[in-house]
Amino acid sequence: MADTVRVRMYNVGFGDCFVLEFPREDQPPFRVLVDCGAHRAGYPRRGWTPEDAVCAIISDLTAETALARLDVVVATHRHQDHVSGFASPRWQDVEVEQVWMPWTENPHDPEATAIRERQSRLALGLQLAFNGPQFGARWTEAGPAEALQALAANSLANEAAMRTLHSGFRGRPPRRFLAARDTYAPEECPGLTVHVLGPSKDRDVIRDMDPPSGQSYLRYLAAATAATEPVGSQRRPFARHFTIAPADYEGGHAGPVASDDIKRIARTVMRDDDLAAAVSLDKAINGTSLMLMFEFGNAFLLFPGDAQWGTWNAALRDDISRELIARTTFYKVGHHGSHNATPVAFLADVLPANVRMWAAAASVHPVQAWPEIPRQPLLAELRKRAERVVLSDHTGPGPAGTQVRPEIGIDFEVPC
């Protein structure tokens, strides 16, 4: 039996797509696909689409046999940059044994259904608002507008992709809806144990998955009055008793704030509410993300999807999960190396100070609207704690134990 686990990180730009291959005696490796998606704001090169990633995966799967086959397909959460590739009709010819999704995707769970519906309504409302003329008239700076539109688009229902995950693939695979503390040891792959560290069903953690219903009035902007009308005639972000009309202010006070400044401040408040709503929704969906630890021999491969603080905190507070996380040898960097994943406690307090991870891999591509991703201080800290830190768009020779496949991605041979 081989003494390594192969991890293939496909270069999908701003997205996630990984195939894990666990060796087996006298059999093809046990193959697990974790996500297949890319954000349209960050494709790796001109002319590329998620269909190219699907073709690359199928080509790899059929390199030795005629049948494209996966033992497990994992969709960590429904964000576009993790599932958009599953919209391809090519998946109907791929044989799959099992499909894993977070418990929040269970169509028979009333609480999960309520969370999904609330997230979807807000995503659709935000997209209508951000694509409407009112939005462009009120906020013309290209960078922030692009960022908000991208956030809203990433959170849409992705119906075609989710339909494949729920009812597609060859072989009619059963679906598993996983929650924290679930454990799976497939008989078909001796030595492999998969530990589910999130999402939790704890009420405090679930609250992070539910975007506040009243946080943004922008979902109603498609039907709101035009931006050319006076600010006071538009839907207000605060209750009326918290506001003062410009005429009352100027007549009753001798302050230095002019009416033009008051209107500018009002517009700024609206912008902040735009951002708050989009970020709240993005965080809520990330809160549903599967957080998995694959244990195989001495290899501990941590795949947290886009899990943010709620899921990480719950895992780090659980003694069993914390002990597993401390043994991480391969880390799929959470949320593309953004500021709201990979908590300081994981790197500073949980990982042993005298042991370095074998590798950390970040699937990312520069996006003008998000110049802080990947976050350079995080990459610098990861380089202190891992023997090799590799980005999916890496070019040139790869570090020892890796192989760069031009325009396809990077292979890791993780010791086990």
Among 235, 267, 282, the domain-final residue is 282
Residue 263 and residue 385 in one domain: no
CB 331 within 8 A of CB 359: yes
pLDDT greater than 60 at residue 6 = yes
Residue 167 and residue 261 in one domain: no
pLDDT greater than 90 at residue 182 = yes
∠ Cα 169 175 177 (to 5°): 140
What secondary structure letter does DSSP report for 223? G
Whole-angstrom CA distances from 260 to 256, 263, 266, 353 are 11, 5, 10, 56
Quote the CA–CA distance of 285 and 101 in Å, as a whole number. 13
Is 82 exposed, middle or buried (CB count within 10 Å of its CB: 0-12, 13-18, 19+)?
buried
CB 10 within 8 A of CB 17: yes
Q: How confident is the model at residue 132 (pLDDT cuts 50, 70, 90)?
A: low
CB 9 within 8 A of CB 57: no
Rg (CA), the chain: 23
CA-nearest of 193, 173, 174, 198 to 183 is 193
pLDDT of residue 238: 45
Q: Residues 325-350: pLDDT tens digits?
A: 999 999 999 999 998 889 999 999 99
pLDDT of residue 322: 96
CB 292 within 8 A of CB 197: yes
The structure's pTM equals 0.84
Quote the CA–CA distance of 217 and 214 in Å, as a whole number. 7
Separation of CA 299 from chain center = 24
Domain enclosing residue 295, as ranges = 4-110+157-211+289-415
Lowest mean pLDDT among 121-130, 246-255, 394-403: 246-255
Q: How confident is the model at residue 245 (pLDDT cuts 50, 70, 90)?
A: low
Q: Which tokens sit at 366?
A: 């520069």
Q: Which tokens sit at 373?
A: 């991703």
CATH number of the CATH domain containing 330: 3.60.15.10
CA-nearest of 24, 94, 108 to 56 is 94
Residue 166 and residue 60 in one domain: yes
Residue 372 and residue 240 in one domain: no
pLDDT greater than 90 at residue 208 = no
Residue 252 and residue 146 in one domain: yes
Residue 398 and residue 262 in one domain: no
pLDDT greater than 50 at residue 213 = no
Give how many domains the chain has, as a whole number: 2
Average pLDDT, the chain: 84
Residue 176 and residue 317 in one domain: yes
Residue 72 and residue 219 in one domain: no
Q: pLDDT exceeding 90 applies to what percent of the chain?
A: 60
Residue 325 and residue 398 in one domain: yes
Quote the CA–CA distance of 19 and 364 in Å, as a whole number. 16
Residue 105 and residue 187 in one domain: yes
Q: Residues 58-96: pLDDT tens digits?
A: 999 999 888 999 999 999 999 999 999 999 999 999 999
Residue 330 and residue 349 in one domain: yes
Among 237, 257, 282, the domain-final residue is 282
Residue 143 and residue 241 in one domain: yes
pLDDT greater than 60 at residue 272 = no
Among 255, 282, 309, the domain-final residue is 282
Quote the CA–CA distance of 35 and 19 in Å, as a whole number. 9
Q: How confident is the model at residue 256 (pLDDT cuts 50, 70, 90)?
A: low
For residues 276-288, give the mean pLDDT.
81
Quote the CA–CA distance of 168 and 276 in Å, as a whole number. 35
pLDDT greater than 90 at residue 298 = yes
